[in-house]
Amino acid sequence: METGKDTIEKIESLVKDSFLVNVDGITYSACDLKAVRDEPTCQPLSLNSLQGLADYINHEFKPDAGKNTYFLSIIDETKIAVYSNILGKNRKREALAVCELRGDLREYPFDRFLSQEDFIIKIQSLFGTTDDKDYLLSYAGAVRDDTEVNSTDDGITQSVTIKSGISGALVKESKTKPIVTLKPYRTFREVEQVESAYLFRVRKGLAPEFALFEADGGAWKLTAVERIKSWLREHIDDKDFVILA
């Protein structure tokens, strides 16, 4: 009896699986249909430097191999991928390699106020050499823990009055540079880092604190992408290999 029930349920399942219905001239299936096997694709090779990406392309592709078949896409200032042209009935692209800036490379924490020591350390270690880098190090280094800082800000320049000494008799007033030009490390290290403008601000918490705020609207990213493209064009042997940015 149990066998008969199983047989009936199996027949019902087979009927349902193959059931088609026509509505207004359109044929519908009672179940979703999927291809038994999609076209196989490779697992993208993971890279983390421009040199590694150039070495891969020079080793993997013979001259003209990439013509009308593969191309390189600079997604942003931290990520690049090598793609195939559209493949198969599913009209998909295959990612052969992905190059991303290593996540453990430190970047300066913009838009945050930092203590004097933390600010000096990060400016010293996370920026390339510029005149304004030296200015910030000199300015921040001149502020002592026992100084009293009162500031007035007119939105353009910031006037800082510093009183030092036990009696506060020594008074020095200076205006900070409102905009400084710096070269932070924030894209692939093989290319020249982009200089851009930052708003410099000082405030008094428990101790003097310093902050930098981006002042170029993110335009530096476009320059970084162009520098990456130029670097790759120079180091990829096949000069006809398509590079999109």
The partner residues of 36 in beta bridges, in order of sequence, read none
Q: How far apart are CA 70 and CA 62, in angstroms?
A: 12
Mean pLDDT, range 8-23, rounded to an integer: 65
Q: For 117-152, how does the pLDDT look when each residue is reduced to its tens digit (9 = 90+)? A: 999 999 999 999 999 999 999 888 877 665 555 566
Closest Cα partner for 210 from 146, 160, 156, 166? 160
- pLDDT tens string 19-39: 676 777 887 776 666 665 556
Residue extents of the structural domains in the chain: 45-104+224-244, 114-214
Reading the block at residue 126, the tokens are: 């996370």
Letter string b/e over residues 80-115, b meaning 16 or more CB atoms within 10 A of that residue's CB? bbbbbeeeeeeeeebbbbbbbbeeeeeebeeeebbb
Highest mean pLDDT among 158-172, 195-209, 231-245: 231-245
Q: Report helix, strand or coil for 32.
A: coil
Give the mean model confidence (pLDDT) for residues 197-226: 90
Which tokens belong to 5? 């029930």
Between 47-56, 82-91, 121-130, 215-224, the lowest mean confidence (pLDDT) is in 82-91
Report the residue count for the chain: 245
pTM (predicted TM-score): 0.73
